[in-house]
Amino acid sequence: MIEIKNLWKSFNSNQVLKSLYLTINDGESLVIIGKSGSGKSVLLKLIIGLLKPEMGEIWIEDENIVGMGFREVQKIRRRFGFVFQAAALFDSLTVADNVGLALRKIFDWSENKARSRIRECLAFVDLQGMENKYPAELSGGMKKRVGIARAIATYPRYILFDEPTTGLDPETAENINQLIVKLKKEMEVTSVVVTHDMHSAFTVGDRIALLYDGKIEVEGKPAEIRRMNHPEIQKFLIGYLLNKK
């Protein structure tokens, strides 16, 4: 379980998070929505200790990572897979080497075992046989899937997705949504999905939380969110209903 309490984060005079509280339960898939610039990516980076808050607590199971040293945080980060907003692959490495990066660093595995895990993860995202391709040879959707394969390779307990469907056509986006659902079902991971795509939010979320004015303004089950009268939620819902076929 992840528990965030009274979290404050600013950049110079820009106060991005203001006393944010959030609990992420084991095995759930929590979606965080919020407009551009509201601090969604910053929140994910705080959870894995890539950014430091001015104040607050971030409990990863029974350890508060706020105030921890670099090495300690690095150890805890191994429990996480992170799918970045841009796929963030290394262009000079093959698909297999991109997927294998973290697992080669963390596990002392034989080459055969590493390769077999890479193959397994590529198959999970439906990219079997793509080991020797380079990122430049892949479409945007394929790159996102390589990013997911890389995130799951080390058997993380938690996977954080930053805008996994943004910039993809509807069919490719749906493909990624289904992958996130499959991850939850088959690997029992806890996921946090940041998005402003309400279709994606309703497809993958057990719970949806709105980040607004530096805190979690409202949260609820998808069905509750659909009925909510909050003006900011309404803006997201209107966009969603207008785009629905």
Ligand X SMILES: Nc1ncnc2c1ncn2[C@@H]1O[C@H](COP(=O)(O)OP(=O)(O)OP(=O)(O)O)[C@@H](O)[C@H]1O
3-state secondary structure at position 245? coil
Work out whether 154 is an interface residue with ligand X (CB under 6 A): no
Q: How far is the CB of 102 from Mg ion (least distance, A)?
A: 22
Q: Any idea which residue has 């198959």 for tokens?
A: 123
Q: Which helix (H) or strand (E) holds 220?
A: strand 215-220
Return the number of other C-beta atoms located less than 10 Å from residue 242's C-beta.
Answer: 7
| The only residue of 19, 21, 27, 37 in contact with ligand X, by rule CB under 6 A | 37
Q: How far is the CB of 39 from Mg ion (least distance, A)?
A: 8
**Widest Cα–Cα separation across the chain:** 56
Contact 208, 222 (CB under 8 A): yes
Work out whether 20 is an interface residue with ligand X (CB under 6 A): no
The pairing of beta strand 63-64 with beta strand 215-220: unpaired
Q: How far is the CB of 4 from ligand X (least distance, A)?
A: 15
Q: How far is the CB of 170 from ligand X (least distance, A)?
A: 19
Q: Where are the alpha helices (DSSP H) in the chain?
A: 40-47, 70-77, 95-106, 111-124, 140-152, 170-187, 198-204, 222-226, 231-243
Alpha carbons 140 and 73: distance in angstroms, whole number: 31
Residue 41 or 154 having the CB closest to Mg ion: 41
Residue 14 or 112 having the CB closest to ligand X: 14
| The only residue of 20, 34, 81, 144 in contact with ligand X, by rule CB under 6 A | 34
Alpha carbons 8 and 16: distance in angstroms, whole number: 8
Work out whether 41 is an interface residue with Mg ion (CB under 5 A): yes
Work out whether 195 is an interface residue with Mg ion (CB under 5 A): no
Residue 41 or 177 having the CB closest to Mg ion: 41
Work out whether 16 is an interface residue with ligand X (CB under 6 A): yes
Stretch that binds ligand X, among 10-18, 87-95, 96-104, 180-188 (CB under 6 A): 10-18
Stretch that binds ligand X, among 40-48, 53-61, 171-179, 212-220 (CB under 6 A): 40-48
| The only residue of 4, 7, 30, 39 in contact with ligand X, by rule CB under 6 A | 39
Work out whether 154 is an interface residue with Mg ion (CB under 5 A): no
Alpha carbons 230 and 148: distance in angstroms, whole number: 33
Stretch that binds ligand X, among 9-17, 89-97, 103-111, 143-151 (CB under 6 A): 9-17
167 contacts: CB under 8 Å, gap ≥ 6:
140
Residues that bind ligand X (CB under 6 A): 11, 14, 16, 34, 36-42
Which positions touch Mg ion (CB under 5 A)?
Answer: 41
